[in-house]
A and B are shown apart, each in its own frame.
Chain A
Amino acid sequence: MKKYRIAVIALLALLFASAAGCLLSFAYGALQDRSQRVARARLAAFKLQEEEFRELGTEHDEWKRLPQELQRFRREQIISMDDFARFRRELNLCLDDNGLRAAGIGFQFGPSKDRVRRVVIGFNLEGAYRDLKKFIYDMERKPKMQFFQGIDLTGGPGPVKGKFIMEAYLGD
């Protein structure tokens, strides 16, 4: 009878140990899950911050380059005083090339602002629509900072009459 009792105790102990092991395994798994969730959240926060940091870095680099870009813009786009004579020659050349004559070109020089001066150029033209359009096209293609502020075209039985206002930006 004693050996049966020992066997029963041994079997129950084995069962208890297995159940405890199983429970411990689940508990350990849950703890591991929790710590992994925390690690994942930390990693996600890190990646988010890294992304924001990268974007900030890109913006920072762009703004850091801005002074050079502004200098380049000024050098390449703003018309220098030396170039202004060339601009006037080019304007006359464009008019001649398209068989147009500007009656009374007027230049109005504005005040200097941030070392840039606006010049408003006004003139009237009369000619075929195609010639006027070609003239506008030629002037729009010029790389420097000169553009049409506005035009008024009036068509009739004869040639098209146009009132042109241009702007040019001169550097001091």
Chain B
Amino acid sequence: MRKITYNLAAAPQVNGRAFALRAVLLVLASLLLGFIAVAHQAGRSGKGRPATVGAGAIAAQMDEMQRQGRRRAAELASWKKAMKRALATVNYLIARKGFSLVSRLDFLEKNFSPGIRIRQLSLANEDDGRMRMTITARSLQELFALYKRLAPYELAISSESQVGDEYQVNMSLKVPNEKI
């Protein structure tokens, strides 16, 4: 005859060890989340906040700067209108006073070899500032060496002719103030 077994417990039996293990896991998970939250905040405060000025103070200062800026811009516009011509005249005169003929003569002396003679030279104190000249050279070699040296100065050769054993050249070049 088979034995009949009745389970008369009102609730399922709980495995205490398994429950304790799960409880520990839950506690650990909660602690981990809490730690993450705290670490996140700590990390943020560790970065340091930028130096903040009150938004109201900044806006007030910006308004003040804009107000003063408008006033200054208006004054500048009126001054520029009134003094533009005088200023342009003065700058023009200063530029012309700063144009040195002696420096240009020095430049020519430095670049011309003894076998080359300048027959005629025109120097003008102008924006263009081209030096126009007629030169003679004893040899083609010296002449071409001169062309090579003067090439960076917008050298323009208008004519070249051979008279006897001399070469005569009409040419011009531009030597700006900053290059001498």
Chain A interface residues (CB < 8 Å from chain B):
1, 4, 7-8, 11-12, 14-15, 17-19, 21-22, 24-26, 28-29, 32, 36, 39-40, 42-43, 45-46, 49-50, 52-53, 56-57, 59-60, 63-64, 66-67, 70, 73, 77, 114, 116, 133, 136-137, 140, 145, 147-156, 167, 169
Contacts and interface: CB of A to CB of B under 8 A. Distances in A.
Contact of A116 (B14, B65, B89, B118): B89
B50 A150 contact: no
10 contacts: A7-B19, A12-B26, A24-B37, A28-B41, A52-B69, A63-B76, A136-B102, A136-B105, A145-B93, A155-B118
A126 to B, nearest CB: 15
Contacts of A40: 50
B145 interface: no
Interface of B: 10-11, 14, 19, 23, 26-27, 29-34, 36-38, 40-41, 44, 49-53, 55, 58, 61-62, 65-66, 68-69, 72-73, 75-76, 79-80, 83, 85-87, 89-90, 93, 96-97, 99-102, 105, 117-126
Contacts of A156: 119
Contact of B97 (A11, A49, A147): A147
Given A17-B30, A25-B41, 13 more contacts: A7-B23, A25-B38, A25-B40, A29-B40, A53-B65, A56-B72, A56-B73, A59-B76, A70-B87, A145-B93, A145-B97, A147-B125, A149-B125
B89 A153 contact: no
B121 to A, nearest CB: 5
Contacts of A137: 102
A133 B99 CA distance: 15
A146 to B, nearest CB: 8
B34 A22 contact: yes
Nearest to A14: B30
B68 A11 contact: no
Q: Lowest 5 A-B CB distances belong to which pairs?
A: A18-B33, A25-B37, A150-B124, A18-B30, A1-B11
Contact of A42 (B55, B69, B76, B80): B55
Given A36-B49, A56-B73, A150-B125, A77 B102 contact: no
B30 to A, nearest CB: 4
